[in-house]
Structure 1
Amino acid sequence: MAGAAFVVRTMARRGLLVPGPPHRVLKQFGELHKWGFGLTGELRQAAARSPGRVAVIDEARGPVTYAELLDGSARLAAALPWTAGERVGVLCRNSAAMIETLIGATMIGADPVLINTGLSGAQLSAVIAAQDLKLIVHDDEFAGLLGDFPGAVPTSRLPALIAGCPLPWATPPPRPGRTIVLTSGTTGTPKGARRPTPGGFGPLCSIIDRIPLRAGVRVLISAPLFHTWGYAGLQIALALRATIVLRRRFNPADALETLTREKCTALIAVPVMIQNLMEVPDGPMPSLSVVAVSGSALPGGLATRFMDRYGDVLYNLYGSTEASWASIATPADMRAAPDTAGRPPHGTVVAVLDADGARVPPGTTGRLFVGNEMLFEGYTNGAAKELRNGLLATGDLGHVDRAGRVYIDGREDDMIVSGGENVFPSEVEGLLADLPGVREVAVVGVPDDEYGQRLAAYVVLHVEASLHADQIRDHVRQNRARFCVPRDIVFLPELPRNATGKVVKRELPR
């Protein structure tokens, strides 16, 4: 009963229980009962309740209503040569066509595989083989990567397929389509992680309880839709009957203009995007109430600077492709402790365990495990992640303070041992990120003949900045232990990042 009461309270607070025309409300909940809480069900409930509301503002197509989006998705479901149970690749930038493809696939019971637009040709070939893809819907710009792949369908063909389909798909499949999200691939070939379908309103309410997105919000989703966070933003937006604004590529000046022009009050992004927004000198100041980020580490100094400029509107979700979410930091959390990843939302458990699986005291670093109802269903290759008492290993090391706030100390496989001392590169990264003149920084461990391993820092400076290696070492020496001082300082014009903004550390020069 407590869970039901939480759901009702949260839905009421976020405007989801506002009365409407009885026939539309009945149809809305009927669609959810019939189709479930996946992408298809959420679109169908939104179209039933608010058919004339603008669902998507696409930079190429303009506004698309919920009724139009549903009609296009359903006709595409009937038109494309896909079948229930098969995996279908989706290689697209953010667009209404990508949403129609995703929903069309799940509507017939196929499993869409979200492909990172930044993959190399070799990685893409490996994904096609690993996921056994026979059909890939792709933006025209990626035709060269696919070569002579026989099942390639460019998005430029979709309007004709939709227009030529006489009857839209209208029958739920025996099994709902399951979306497969690829891991980032920063350390090798991306793996496919099967995302579960929500069983009710609980997962949505867990997020919007902490991140105050309301029904009908106008939101710019800048995070790539193929990424776990961008995809989650799409799920949330459809459930809220939001107006989703999309741009194919992120440009900070364009994003500020788009937010202002389209009267968006919310932005869903990855941390490097808000860093870039901070560097627009004279851009418009949109009226934002929520800026929600996830996908990579958010430096505490950046969080504070962003809120000083845009107000206390920043929310940071810590999670992963496999765990969905673990904690959410509100503006109040980050004002009190800028480096925190926040607190676990309703229905989520975060545990810090030692090597034997026992919980460690507050303030002690250990392995982070998380439990919630949206843990992934395993990798498509049959592999799984470690589970302890129903909690999933995140692969991160961290600690929890006495106030219940979670902190990420580093990846388990990133920690190095230098001269017998455990060193977390992310700790030094955070310190250097706040050094005036530093635009971005990555710190990694490298082999060392004397100490086993040592730290190397890769630094990108602001255009007008002038720092030398000894100043950077002195800053670390004054604020951290001797073994944290990076011996190697490499200045770069930019860090190698993938399409979701994560630093690809294997591409750093050695």
Structure 2
Amino acid sequence: MTETSTPPPNEPAVYTGDRARPIAEVKERAARIATGLSELGLGQNDRYCIVMRNEVGFVEATLAGGVIGAVPVPVNWHWTGDDLGHLLQDSEAKVAIVHTDLLPAVEQHKPEAMQIVEAQVAPELVTAYSLGDVPLTGRYPTLDELAQRPPVTEPNTVPPSSVIYTSGTTGLAKGIVREPMTPDRVPAVAEAVMDLLMFRPGEPTLVPAPMYHTSPNVHFIWATMLGVQTHIMPRFIPTEFLRMVEKYRIVSVQMVPVMFRRLLDVPEEERAKYDLSSLKYVVHAAAPCPADLKEAMIDWLGPIVYEYYGGSEGGAWTRVNSEEALAHPGTVGRQWRDNQIAIVGPDDQEVPAGETGMVYGRSGGFWPEFTYLHNDQKRRDISRGDFFTLGDIGHVDEEGYLYLSDRANDMVISGGVNIYPAEIEASLHNLDGVRDVAVFGIPDEQMGEALAAHLELEEGAELTEDDVRTFVRENLAAYKVPKVVVFEERLPREDTGKLFKRRIKEKYWQGKQRISG
């Protein structure tokens, strides 16, 4: 990788940490890797897995498939056991490109016919993850060896979209398959992605989240294809984020709320040492953001914080800027562009403003249609005409702003009363000393279900179970007071900030019938 500490003059590059490779070279290497993948038997619409951490090789491996019409399947490298085995089998991928240190898990769970390409662990990853010496095994062809092949000279006209697997918080993950984009649709999609994520050619953009997730994946693919100076964090470290924004005059960044929390944990006097004046757009999504957390970010950075709501299946349905967020605390915004949302009640009819129901959306004509790999029925199950649901419950106000109450499979029915844990979680975030919280239903012989609250406290904070119950009782209805209160050292969250409630709930529901995300 080309060593440099400043962007090459008049030549956009992809950075991993402080190392850069010009985008022209990235695309050429991708065309060479494409030849190597062809030699391994990959062709049009064949799938291949990418089991890599954030680095420029991930970018090249992704773009390479598009050159020959093969479909990349980015893999959450944290996954092991059944989660990983399911994806490797279900994807029917012919090849897996894998960082050396991640090989053991893949080797254990891969189908016998799957071929492996070994990717050397980049030095910035060794540093970020304290991996020590990670030499190549010599058992497989390497990504760098594939990059020495002659380049494909007649690339595929329109690269196919990646197959992204959902996080699987309520069961085995599902692969999202998009219909092919026609060449005439590409400009509209490119324009919409730039509008949503707010990056532009000539303005450096930063990708701090794992690139196996949908939004960071879309971010780096389109930024690279459009020649945008793209900076990739090997791992999100708050002070390193601040350093990179200052050093490279970052203009736009896409984040998740858990990153906000970690940044605000940096002492104010330390944060003040960094010049963040270049930053114009901080876009976030993927997980709920407590209103007080968003307000704290806006107080610090100014009105440059934007949120959108949607999902891997349908892109973004709504968006909200800082001024709107402050005026309408808790909203995830109004309909964005030509997307539409509808709130549907239990009778399958739309409900008026102010009433709660299932949130359905319809993606604008620019976004490709989708289904689930090997599971068209699941796609039909979430549909209502041209609309589909991501499983969220919410309402819109008279001005059209959407507010989410909870996910349908998280709703607790206690004594016949519907209770939305997200409301209780939002309230407990306002209790001094609470850093994170998960509220969910547990079995109860009398009520069917009761509420449990697991909390992660700020360092040095001291709270009791009674403190928690009293706070909820003073701010919400008595039936929303948790029966069980547990203090955890750390709650299990995805890199995107999504909470793995299933991991906490399992011990309560062992041997019982009901368990959800």
TM-score, structure 1 normalization: 0.85
Question: Residue deviations 1:235-276, cap 9 Å, x none?
Answer: 442365321111221111221122222221222112111111
Q: Check the 8 A contact 1:52/1:67 in 2, yes or no.
A: no
After superposition, residues 75-474 of structure 1 pair within 5 angstroms as 75-80=32-37, 81=40, 82-147=42-107, 149=110, 151-156=115-120, 157-162=142-147, 164-165=148-149, 167-173=150-156, 176-196=159-179, 199-206=185-192, 208-209=194-195, 212-238=198-224, 240-281=226-267, 282-283=270-271, 284-287=274-277, 288-372=279-363, 373=365, 374=367, 376-383=369-376, 384-385=378-379, 386-474=382-470
Task: Provide the C-alpha distance between the structure 1 equivalents of 2:334 and 2:68, rounded to a whole number of angstroms.
Answer: 38
Q: What is the aligned partner in structure 1 of residue 491 from structure 2?
A: 495
Q: What is the aligned partner in structure 2 of residue 30 from structure 1?
A: none
Q: Check the 8 A contact 1:321/1:376 in 2, yes or no.
A: no
Instruction: State the secondary structure of the residue aligned to 1:250.
Output: coil
Q: Check the 8 A contact 1:364/1:399 in 2, yes or no.
A: yes
After superposition, residues 54-69 of structure 1 pair within 5 angstroms as 54-59=12-17, 62-69=19-26
Task: Provide the C-alpha distance between the structure 2 equivalents of 1:205 and 1:496, rounded to a whole number of angstroms.
Answer: 36
Of the structure 1 ranges 381-390 and 433-442, higher mean CA displacement relative to structure 2 is found in 381-390
Which consecutive segments of 4 or more residues in structure 1 shift more than 6 A? none
Instruction: State the secondary structure of the residue aligned to 1:477.
Output: helix
Task: Provide the C-alpha distance between the structure 2 equivalents of 1:427 and 1:207, rounded to a whole number of angstroms.
Answer: 31
Question: Residue deviations 1:106-149, cap 9 Å, x none?
Answer: 11011111111111133211111111122101112201112265
Task: Provide the C-alpha distance between the structure 2 equivalents of 1:375 and 1:106, rounded to a whole number of angstroms.
Answer: 16
Task: Provide the C-alpha distance between the structure 2 equivalents of 1:320 and 1:308, rounded to a whole number of angstroms.
Answer: 28
Alpha-carbon spacing, 1:249–1:195, altered in 2? closer, same or farther (3 Å): farther
Instruction: State the secondary structure of the residue aligned to 1:201.
Output: helix
After TM superposition, give the deviation of residue 84 of structure 1 in Å.
1.9
Task: Provide the C-alpha distance between the structure 2 equivalents of 1:147 and 1:235, rounded to a whole number of angstroms.
Answer: 28
Opposite residue 467 of structure 1, the aligned amino acid is L
Q: Check the 8 A contact 1:322/1:375 in 2, yes or no.
A: no
Opposite residue 494 of structure 2, the aligned amino acid is N
Task: Provide the C-alpha distance between the structure 2 equivalents of 1:352 and 1:364, rounded to a whole number of angstroms.
Answer: 8
Q: Check the 8 A contact 1:206/1:345 in 2, yes or no.
A: no
After TM superposition, give the deviation of residue 51 of structure 1 in Å.
11
Q: Check the 8 A contact 2:14/2:232 in 1, yes or no.
A: yes
Q: Check the 8 A contact 1:51/1:65 in 2, yes or no.
A: no
Instruction: State the secondary structure of the residue aligned to 2:334.
Output: coil
Alpha-carbon spacing, 1:300–1:361, altered in 2? closer, same or farther (3 Å): same
After TM superposition, give the deviation of residue 176 of structure 1 in Å.
3.9
Task: Provide the C-alpha distance between the structure 1 equivalents of 2:173 and 2:238, rounded to a whole number of angstroms.
Answer: 28
After TM superposition, give the deviation of residue 294 of structure 1 in Å.
1.3
After TM superposition, give the deviation of residue 495 of structure 1 in Å.
0.5
Q: Check the 8 A contact 2:209/2:233 in 1, yes or no.
A: no
After TM superposition, give the deviation of residue 202 of structure 1 in Å.
2.9
Of the structure 1 ranges 414-423 and 486-495, higher mean CA displacement relative to structure 2 is found in 414-423
Task: Provide the C-alpha distance between the structure 2 equivalents of 1:104 and 1:268, rounded to a whole number of angstroms.
Answer: 24
Instruction: State the secondary structure of the residue aligned to 1:378.
Output: strand
Q: Check the 8 A contact 2:32/2:151 in 1, yes or no.
A: yes
Opposite residue 182 of structure 1, the aligned amino acid is Y
Structure 1: segments with no counterpart, 5+ residues: 1-49
Instruction: State the secondary structure of the residue aligned to 1:315.
Output: strand
Of the structure 1 ranges 168-177 and 274-283, higher mean CA displacement relative to structure 2 is found in 168-177
Question: Residue deviations 1:268-313, cap 9 Å, x none?
Answer: 1121111111111113352221111111111111111111111111
Opposite residue 503 of structure 2, the aligned amino acid is E
Task: Provide the C-alpha distance between the structure 2 equivalents of 1:456 and 1:73, rounded to a whole number of angstroms.
Answer: 50
Of the structure 1 ranges 233-242 and 94-103, higher mean CA displacement relative to structure 2 is found in 233-242
After TM superposition, give the deviation of residue 99 of structure 1 in Å.
0.7
Q: Check the 8 A contact 1:270/1:294 in 2, yes or no.
A: yes
Instruction: State the secondary structure of the residue aligned to 2:370.
Output: coil
After TM superposition, give the deviation of residue 455 of structure 1 in Å.
1.3
Structure 2: segments with no counterpart, 5+ residues: 1-7, 121-141, 509-517
Task: Provide the C-alpha distance between the structure 2 equivalents of 1:498 and 1:217, rounded to a whole number of angstroms.
Answer: 29
After TM superposition, give the deviation of residue 189 of structure 1 in Å.
1.8
Task: Provide the C-alpha distance between the structure 2 equivalents of 1:391 and 1:364, rounded to a whole number of angstroms.
Answer: 19
Q: Check the 8 A contact 1:400/1:407 in 2, yes or no.
A: yes
Task: Provide the C-alpha distance between the structure 2 equivalents of 1:211 and 1:183, rounded to a whole number of angstroms.
Answer: 20
Aligned residues: CA RMSD: 2.1
Alpha-carbon spacing, 1:506–1:285, altered in 2? closer, same or farther (3 Å): farther
Instruction: State the secondary structure of the residue aligned to 1:328.
Output: strand
After TM superposition, give the deviation of residue 226 of structure 1 in Å.
0.9
After TM superposition, give the deviation of residue 354 of structure 1 in Å.
1.5
After TM superposition, give the deviation of residue 159 of structure 1 in Å.
2.2
After TM superposition, give the deviation of residue 357 of structure 1 in Å.
2.7
After TM superposition, give the deviation of residue 55 of structure 1 in Å.
2.7
Q: Check the 8 A contact 2:63/2:221 in 1, yes or no.
A: no
Task: Provide the C-alpha distance between the structure 2 equivalents of 1:272 and 1:88, rounded to a whole number of angstroms.
Answer: 30
Instruction: State the secondary structure of the residue aligned to 2:471.
Output: helix
Question: Residue deviations 1:309-329, cap 9 Å, x none?
Answer: 111111112111212211112
Q: Check the 8 A contact 2:394/2:405 in 1, yes or no.
A: yes
Choose which of 455, 462, 483 in structure 1 pairs with 2:479. 483
Q: What is the aligned partner in structure 1 of residue 29 from structure 2?
A: 72
Of the structure 1 ranges 362-371 and 183-192, higher mean CA displacement relative to structure 2 is found in 183-192
TM-score, structure 2 normalization: 0.84
Task: Provide the C-alpha distance between the structure 1 equivalents of 2:162 and 2:248, rounded to a whole number of angstroms.
Answer: 30
Alpha-carbon spacing, 1:52–1:96, altered in 2? closer, same or farther (3 Å): farther
Question: Residue deviations 1:155-183, cap 9 Å, x none?
Answer: 12222321x21x31132338743310000
Instruction: State the secondary structure of the residue aligned to 1:224.
Output: coil
